[in-house]
Structure 1
Amino acid sequence: MSAPIINDTTLCDGEQTVGVAFTLDQRCAIAAALSRAGVAEIEVGIPALGEDEIARIKAIVDLNLDARLMVWGDLTQRDLAAALRCNADIVHLSIPVSDIRLQDKLQKPRRWVLEQIARVIAEAVKSDRKISLGMEDASRADPAFLVQVARCAQQHGAQRVRFADTLGVLDPFSTYEAIARLRDAVDLEIEIHAHDDLGLATANTLAALRAGATHANTTVDCLGKRAGNAALEEIVIGARHLLGRDTGINTEALPAVCRLIEWASGRIIFSDKSIVDRGVLTSDPSDRTGGITKHRRTHEEFEYPQPGRQRSVALGEHCGPQSVHQAYSALGVSVAEWLVPLLLDRIRHFAAQYKQAPSASDLYRFLAEAGETLDLRLAEALRALKLDLSRTDS
C-alpha cells in the first residue's frame, strides 16, 4: 500500500477555531513551515470569501513552495470561478450528501447532488487543475448513495473524493467499513476529513488509512471548529508506528511547527499533549526509570520528535533512589549511596507540599541540608558514645 499523503488544513479549517485569525505574514510563515517539514498538500483558503481572501491565497502561491496548494469551495459555478483565479494546484469543491443536510439545509433531493456533480465537476476539469469532490456529512449519509456520488464524481473527471465526518460522529470501526466500501467501489484518491467531537479524530483517520484512504486531512495542534480536527503530528507518528507507513514528513520539524501555530493562534498546547508537548520525554518518577535509562523501549515505544531535548525524570512523591541518582547526575553531582535516603525524603516532602518537582537550586539546597543533618546526627552519636564511655569508666 502506498504512503499516505497529508493534506493539512490549518490555514482553512484551523482558522475556523473560535478566536483564531492569522495575519498574512503568519499565514505565509505557517505555509512555509509546513512545506519545509515535508507536508505534501496544504489547504490554504476559501476564495469565495472575497478579494481579500484571494489576495492572501495568491501571496502563498507566490512563495513557490514545494507543497501542492489546495483551495476550498462549495460545488457551485460561482465558487469554482473564484477558485480558478487563485492558481492553486488543487480545487476542492464540497456538497452535502446526507439526507438530513440536503432536506433541512438546502431543501434539495438526492438527484440534485448528482446533477451538480455532472455540471460543475465537468466544468472544473477543463481547467487542467486537480479536482477533488468533498462529500459533506458523509458519515451520516446513506452508504449506497455515497457510492453513487463517488462513481458520478469519477465519471465526470474528479480525481479525489473527501469523506467528511463533519460532526465527528464516527468510531474507528464504522470509519474503516465506510472507507473500505468506497475503496471497493471507485478507483479514486480517497481523503478522510475527521472531526474530534468524540475525541476520535486521530483514531478514525488512522482507521481510514488502514482501510484504503490515500489522503489524510489534518490540522496542527488539532485546531478547527468545535473540538477540532485530526492532529497532524499524531497522524504522522501514528501512521509510521501503527501502520508502518511513512508520510514523508520530517518529524523533527514538528515541534517547531506546533510552537509556530501555538504562537500564531494564541492557543497554548495543553500540558502533556501527545507527541509534541515537552512533557512526553519526562519519565515516570519511580524506580522503574532505571529501565528507561538502560533500555528505552522498556517504557517507551515511540521515538518522539523532540530534537535537542534529553529525556528527564520527574521528581515527585513516587520517585525512588534511582531517580535521585539521575537527577543529581544531570547536575554533575555524584551522590553517595548513604546520602540518598535523606535526599529522597526531602524531595518527596517538597513535591507533596508544593505540587511540583524541585528545581536545580532546590536540589543543591537539599544536598546541603542533608549534610547538615548528617553532621548533627554524627555529633549526637559522638555525644552518646562519650556518655556511654564515661558510664563504663565509672
Structure 2
Amino acid sequence: MRGIAFYIIESLRDKRISIFDTTLRDGEQTPGVSLTQDDKLLVAQQLDKLGVDIIEAGFPMSSEGERCSVKKITDAGLNLQICGLSRVIRSDIDSCLDCGVDMVHTFVSTSDVQRISTIKKSRDEVYKMAVDAVEYIKDHGAKCMFSAMDATRTDIDYLISIYKGVEEAHCDIINVPDTVGVSVPSATYKLISEIAANIKIPIDVHCHNDFGLAVANSLAAVEAGASQVQVTINSLGERAGNADLAGTVMGLHSLYGAKTNIKTQYIVETSHMVEKLTGVRMPPTMPIVGENAFAHESGIHTHGVLVRSDTFEPGVMTPEMVGHRRRIVLGKHAGKHAVKQSLECAGLHPTDAQLNDVLRRVKDIGDKGKRVTDADLYAIAESIIGATSKGEQAIILKEVSVMTGNIITPTATVKATVKGRELLGANTGVGPVDAALKAVTGILGDYKVKLRDFRIEAISGGSDALAEVIIGVEDEKGRVVSARSTNEDIVLASVEALVAAINQLISAQDRF
C-alpha cells in the first residue's frame, strides 16, 4: 500500500514537458558571474548533451560581446533550439534575428507597479507594443515567445487580454513569469489554470526563488496546464535565482511520472561544470546535486540504507539516476554498521570488540567538532587491530618547492619516493597549491586519481596560523578516500593530505 506522498496525478503520467534553460541569460545575471564567449559555448554544448529542448543563449542587444556569443552558439550546429531575448523594441528583435536564433523571446512589463514606474506606458500602449512585436517577429519567420513581465502581480483580466492579443498575432508560446518570486504554489496553480482556460497556445513558466518556492511553483504550474518550464543549472539567476533544473526535472520524472528529454545521468556532471565556470559553489545540502544529497551519517539511517536504500532515501530517485554516488559519512552520529562496512571496503576485518573500540574513538573525534576522514578511520583501526598495512607507504614525500608571483606562473616541484623509486615532478597551476597537487599526481604514472574534495580551515589566529587541509581523492575504480594534514604552510599541508589519501587508496587496493 502506497503512502500519500507517492501519488501520481494521472493527467501528468507520461505527459511530455519541454525544458527551457536560461542559465546563459538569467543565470549569468547572478551577481558576480561573468562568462566568456568560450565558456558560454561550452555550457551550451553541455546543455545539448543533457537533452535540454531550448536554451536562452543571451540578450544580443545588451552588448557587442553578448551578440557575438549568441551568434557563436547559433553557428555551433547544436540539436537544441536557440532563443534570444529582446524587449518589445524592433532594434532588439533585429539583433536576435541577425544572430540566427530559432526563437525570439520578447517581453514587456504588464504589472501596474512596473508599467507606471519603469516604462511609463498606459495599458493600451503596452498592449499595442506587445502585439506589434509579436507580429514583427512572425513576419520575419522566427518562432516567438511572449512574456508579460511581472505576470503574477498583474491584474488578471488585463493579463489574459494581452495574452489573447499576442495569441491572435500568432505567437507560438506565452510565458508567465513570477518575476519577483512572490507567488506560492496554490496561487500559481490558480493563475495558470485561469490562463489555460482562456488561451489555447502552449504556456511556459519562469519562476524566481526569492522565497525558495521556484521549483514548487514550476511543478504547480505543470499540474495546472503549463507544458514548458524555464530553469537554470544550480538555480542560478537574479537575486535568489531561478527554478533549479535538477529539482524541477527530477520532480517531474519521479514524483509525477511526467517525461522530459533530459538525460538525467548527466545532471550532476552538468552541475559541476557550471559550478566550475561560474565560481558559484553549491552548498553541500543542495538537493540532488549537492555533496550531501545522497550522504548518510546517522547510525539509524546508514544501517537502513545499507540494508535497503529506499528506507532513508526517496526510492523513486536514486543517486545513479542523476550521475551521483551514495556516501556513508563517519562522525559522532555514526553507527556500527557504517564503520564496519567502511573498514571491510578497505580490507580490514575487526572483531566485534575491536569494532566497538573503533566506533568509540570515531565518536570521540566527532564530539570534538572534527570531521572524521578515511585516513583517521584507518589509522584508528590499524592501531587497534594491529594491522601492518600502514608500515610501508607507496609514496614517501621528500621535498616540495614552489615558485609564484605576480608575473610568474605558479610552478611547483615535488621530490618523492614512489614504490621504492625516487622521482621528481613539476607542474604549473592557477596558484601554488594547484601547481603542487598537480605535481604530485603527475609522478604517479599510470595510477590515476582525481580530486573530489578540497577544504582549508585556519585553526589558530595570526599570519602564521595553522591550516588544516582535508582532501578527498577518487581512483579509476570509483573508490573515494579522504585524509587531512595540519601545517603552518598551506601548500605543504595540501600536499601531505593528498599523499596520505593516495597512500590509503593504494594500501586498500593492495589488501585485496
**How does the TM-score come out when normalised to structure 1?**
0.91
The partner residue of 2:327 within 312, 318, 324 is 312
Residue 239 of structure 1 corresponds to 252
Correspondences of 1:192-231 after superposition (within 5 Å): 192-231=205-244
Instruction: Answer whether contact 1:195 1:201 (CA < 8 A) is retained.
Output: yes
Deviations 1:92-138 (A, max 9, x none): 10011111111111221111122112322112111121111011000
**2:350 matched to 1:323?**
no
Deviations 1:12-46 (A, max 9, x none): 00111111110111000000000011001000011
Tell me the CA shift for residue 317 of structure 1. 1.2
Distance 2:334 2:352 in 1: 16
Q: Which letter does structure 1 place at the counterpart of 2:364?
A: H
Instruction: Answer whether contact 2:305 2:313 (CA < 8 A) is retained.
Output: yes
Residues 101/307 of structure 1: CA separation in 2 closer, same or farther (3 Å cut): closer
Greater per-residue strand proportion: 2
Residue 377 of structure 1 corresponds to none
Residue 392 of structure 1 corresponds to none
The partner residue of 2:48 within 22, 35, 51 is 35
How many pairs does the alignment contain? 371
User: Which is higher, the Rg of structure 1 or of structure 2?
Assistant: 1
RMSD over aligned CA atoms reads: 1.6
**2:370 matched to 1:333?**
no
Correspondences of 1:152-301 after superposition (within 5 Å): 152-301=165-314
Instruction: Answer whether contact 2:233 2:245 (CA < 8 A) is retained.
Output: yes
Tell me the CA shift for residue 310 of structure 1. 4.2
The partner residue of 1:370 within 384, 395, 403 is 384
Residues 255/103 of structure 1: CA separation in 2 closer, same or farther (3 Å cut): same
Deviations 1:299-354 (A, max 9, x none): 11121357775422221112222122112122122222222211111010011124
Where structure 1 has 5 or more consecutive residues not aligned to the other structure, the ranges are 373-394
Distance 1:53 1:360 in 2: 46
Residue 77 of structure 2 corresponds to 64
Residue 140 of structure 2 corresponds to 127
Distance 1:7 1:21 in 2: 21
Runs of 4+ in 1 over 4 A off after TM superposition: 305-310
Q: Which letter does structure 2 place at the counterpart of 1:314?
A: V
Distance 1:305 1:291 in 2: 18
Q: Which range moved further: 8-17 or 273-282?
A: 273-282
Instruction: Answer whether contact 1:75 1:117 (CA < 8 A) is retained.
Output: yes
Tell me the CA shift for residue 291 of structure 1. 2.0
Distance 1:345 1:313 in 2: 17
Which has the bigger relative contact order, CA under 8 A and spacing at least 6?
1
Deviations 1:133-155 (A, max 9, x none): 01100010011111111111100
Distance 1:211 1:308 in 2: 30
Residue 73 of structure 1 corresponds to 86
Distance 1:150 1:363 in 2: 62
Instruction: Answer whether contact 1:276 1:305 (CA < 8 A) is retained.
Output: no
Distance 2:376 2:94 in 1: 65
Correspondences of 1:37-52 after superposition (within 5 Å): 37-52=50-65
Distance 2:324 2:171 in 1: 45
Instruction: Answer whether contact 1:14 1:225 (CA < 8 A) is retained.
Output: yes
Residues 197/309 of structure 1: CA separation in 2 closer, same or farther (3 Å cut): closer
Alignment partner of 1:293: what SS? helix
Deviations 1:139-188 (A, max 9, x none): 10011111111111100110111111110001111011111111111111
Deviations 1:51-74 (A, max 9, x none): 332221111011110110000010
Instruction: Answer whether contact 2:284 2:292 (CA < 8 A) is retained.
Output: yes
Residues 305/18 of structure 1: CA separation in 2 closer, same or farther (3 Å cut): farther
The partner residue of 1:111 within 111, 120, 124 is 124
Distance 2:260 2:182 in 1: 26
Deviations 1:260-310 (A, max 9, x none): 111111111112211012222212421342221221111111213577754
Residue 386 of structure 1 corresponds to none
Where structure 2 has 5 or more consecutive residues not aligned to the other structure, the ranges are 1-11, 387-512
Q: Which letter does structure 2 place at the counterpart of 1:365?
A: A
Deviations 1:63-92 (A, max 9, x none): 110110000010122211212111111111
Share of identical aligned residues, percent? 29
Distance 2:254 2:322 in 1: 18
Q: Which letter does structure 1 place at the counterpart of 2:378?
A: Y
Distance 1:53 1:307 in 2: 31
Deviations 1:211-242 (A, max 9, x none): 11111111111111111111111111111112
Residue 82 of structure 1 corresponds to 95
Residue 98 of structure 1 corresponds to 111
Distance 1:307 1:90 in 2: 29
